[in-house]
Amino acid sequence: MTGHETYDVVIVGAGVNGALIAKQLTRARLRVLLLEAGPDTASAFDGYTRHLDHFYSASGKGPESAWPQAPNAPQPDTADVRTGDGYFIQRGPHKYASSYSRLLGGSTLHWLGVSLRMLPEDFELRSRYGVGRDWPLGYADLEPYYRSAEWEIGVSADAADQQHLGIEFPDGYDYPMRRIPPSYSDRVLAQAVDGMQVTLADQTATIKIRSYPAARNSIPRDGYSPAGAVDKRLEAQVLGQRCAGNTACTPICPIQARYHAGKTLAQAERRYLTVIAQAVASKILVDPVSGVVQGIEYQRYEDPDSPRHTVHVASGRAYVLAAHAVENAKLMLASGLGGSNGSNGSKGSNGSNGLIGKGLMDHPALYAWGLAPVPVGAYRGPLSTSGIEDLRGGAFRAAHAAFRFDLGNDGWRPATGAPDTTVADAVRKQGLFGTNLRDHLAATLSRQVRFSVAVEQLRSNANTVTIDPRYVDPLGNPRPVISYHIDDYTLAGMAAATGVYRQVFQRAGIKDCTGRSESAWFPEASYDGTSFHYHGMGHFGGTHVMGSSKEDSVVDTDQRSWEHRNLYLVGSGSFPTMGTSNPTLTMAALSLRTAEHMLVELTK
């Protein structure tokens, strides 16, 4: 073991949460060490562009295709879900189908950018509908931090569009940038669909195609300055100050118009920030009597392709785990903190409540795809610009899961591998060539419509991240062992969502082509005689749940560990429930709240 460094705060993980907290703390002149397990290959424009070339040349164009594995900081890949031989050890019964990335910038390097707030009712599911858990804080508590988060990460929307299902804004508030223009496809669908009524569990709802808030640069308001590409050179920074419709938010926005955590890191006060990439946190060192964290042990590797490394310890007055819902839980368990002792499955070692790693959630999602009666201009614009949000809330949640529709602008790509598979089918199966082929593709591709329907999943202590000494990575760190089950509440939501998409297709004259795709594989879950092919949304949550007492939760409302008072576990791992919004904005709001709390604590 070499070296011993002391800081005010040591943060593990350079994703959106670590970056936001590092920025706030360093700007208040606290000395911060940021440890990142993966490499730092995307924080200068030239390196970022090499990732873009990687995407162009990749056979599969999935969410990870621009972001290859670092062997010493391995990551899940959706392509491994089928074979089961990826980073995750999947115990079933259902496959956990989501992924994340371990490098400087984290998974925000390939997120879509959907920045919806959670609904007020999402924080009170138990009180209102008798399911799930209530959060220990409410929408009103988080509302100011949502505003800060929207300005920190740069969200484009019009507040006037977003006031529905109880979402409210203070008078005079608006987003930092105007809404991203809805796609032509959105407008065609809205014309057919807006105002139609659907019934869920005897409740009638009126639906509408609605622009959603997106962390993609648009026309700024009130002197806001959109952050473009991250680089030292001014000419690179000018890039990406407006979305230019690259239709590749996921896996890589070529001009960095879509937010990623590197932008926030670039805004941190560098004099107070030390960033060490290729540094894998391997153990949290804790005083066994007081529970106070004394240091973070980490493994620094020079060569990404070799497991050779040196071991160091970093110390601070406070520690933040911002490594991801799965990695946070993994690191705690590997450090002997907070896990179940296995015998009764509830009580943990060290007298903790055994909740670390328990309650893993996602938004299991369905694709629905079809052909519109007229060209809608698929394969243009941000990957999506609108959704159907009206079924995210309502009394039906007592009976089954809520859901939201994301309306794709990229044809059938994620569902079937189009346009390549549409071409291959036309050439090899239909025998088309020449002008007939070209005409067929012109008529078909531009009419492709695709919805992604993300369904809420509630917390269950049976859904877990654990570790097992038999499964380790090249540095000897444990690989996550995942047990995952999609329960009837969510499956009934999938069934209801299926009914809704069929009505929408019918109303809009869209020919339903949803079915088993020969070229794309998705895991299955069965319910009531129907088999659903679902995919993950990358929305991991629930592994270090937030609560109002140390008996039933891991962290408090400040995301501060009940057991270890100078330790914070941040991110969607803290979520008691997921609602139906993409979690990044809520995580960002919580992290800003945590940073504010830490500033008070550390400057007392």
Partner 1 sequence: MADPEDRNTGRAGQFADLSALLTGFDRIQLLGTGMVGSYLHAIDAALPEGVLDELLDAFGHLPPGDGAGAAVGAGAGAGAGTDAEAREAREAAVSSAVLDDPKLGPVARNLIVAWYCGTWTALPDGWREAYGTSPLDTDRVLSAEAYQAGLQWVAAGAHPAGALQQGYGAWSAEPETSKAPKGART
Contact residues toward partner 1 (CB under 8 A) are: 52-53, 55-59, 61, 181-184, 187, 218, 242-248, 252, 254-255, 375-382, 385, 409-411, 413, 419-420, 422-424, 427-428, 431, 433-439, 441-443, 445-446
Backbone angles phi, psi at 348, to 5 degrees: -100, 175
Helix/strand/coil for 73: strand
Q: How far is CA 106 from CA 15, 100, 109, 241, 461, in A?
A: 4, 7, 6, 21, 27
Alpha-carbon radius of gyration of the chain: 23
Q: How far is the CB of 510 from partner 1 (least distance, A)?
A: 16
- The closest of 121, 122, 99 to 578, measured between CA atoms, is 122
Could you give phi then psi for residue 81, rounded to 5 degrees? -65, -40
Instruction: State both tokens at 525.
Output: 């879950």
- The C-alpha angle with vertex 360 and arms to 358 and 361, in degrees rounded to 5, equals 150
DSSP 235-297: HHHHTTSS----S-TTT--TT--B--HHHHHHTS-GGGEEEE-SEEEEEEEE-TTT--EEEEE
**Residue 400 Ramachandran class (φ > 0 left, ψ -120 to 50 alpha, else beta):** beta
- Residue type present at position 38: G
Query: Which amino acid is present at 349?
Result: S
Closest CA to 212 of 514, 448, 452: 452
With respect to partner 1, which residue has the nearer C-beta, 428 or 604?
Answer: 428
CA distance 268 to 273: 7
Q: How many helices (H) and strands (E) does the chain have?
A: 14, 20
Q: Backbone phi, then psi, for 503, in 5-degree steps?
A: -65, -40
With respect to partner 1, which residue has the nearer C-beta, 149 or 383? 383
Q: Rounded to 5 degrees, what angle do the CA atoms 8, 10, 14 make?
A: 135
Name the residue nearer to partner 1 (CB basis): 113 or 381: 381
Residue matched to tokens 């709390």:
597
The crossing angle, in degrees rounded to 10, of helices 16-27 and 139-153 is: 90
Of residues 129 and 379, the one with the C-beta less far from partner 1:
379
Q: Taking the complex as a whole, how short is the minimal distance between the CB of residue 506 and partner 1, in angstroms?
A: 24
**Of residues 413 and 535, the one with the C-beta less far from partner 1:** 413
Strands, E, within 430-500: which ranges? 448-455, 464-466, 481-484
Task: Kindly tell me which of 127 and 436 has the beta carbon lying closer to partner 1.
Answer: 436
Smallest distance from partner 1 to CB 338, Å: 41
Q: What is the closest distance, in whole angstroms, from the C-beta atom of residue 448 to partner 1 in the complex?
A: 8
Minimum CB distance to partner 1, residue 151 (Å): 21
Buried b (16+ CB within 10 A) or exposed e, 572-583: bbbbbbbbbbbb
Compute the least distance from the CB of residue 250 to partner 1, in Å: 10
Residue (52 or 230) nearer to partner 1, CB: 52
Beta strands 481-484 and 511-512 are unpaired
255 or 314: whose CB is closer to partner 1? 255
Q: Closest CB to partner 1 among 372 and 578? A: 372
Closest to partner 1 by CB, 205 vs 437, is 437
Report yes or no: 330 and 311 within 8 Å, Cβ to Cβ: no
- Give least dist CB 386 to partner 1, A: 11
Nearest-approach distance from CB 586 to partner 1, in angstroms: 27
In the complex, what is the shortest distance from the CB of residue 428 to partner 1, in angstroms, rounded to a whole number? 6
Q: How far is the CB of 403 from partner 1 (least distance, A)?
A: 25
Nearest distance from residue 68's CB to partner 1, in Å? 15
Between 253 and 587, CB nearer to partner 1: 253
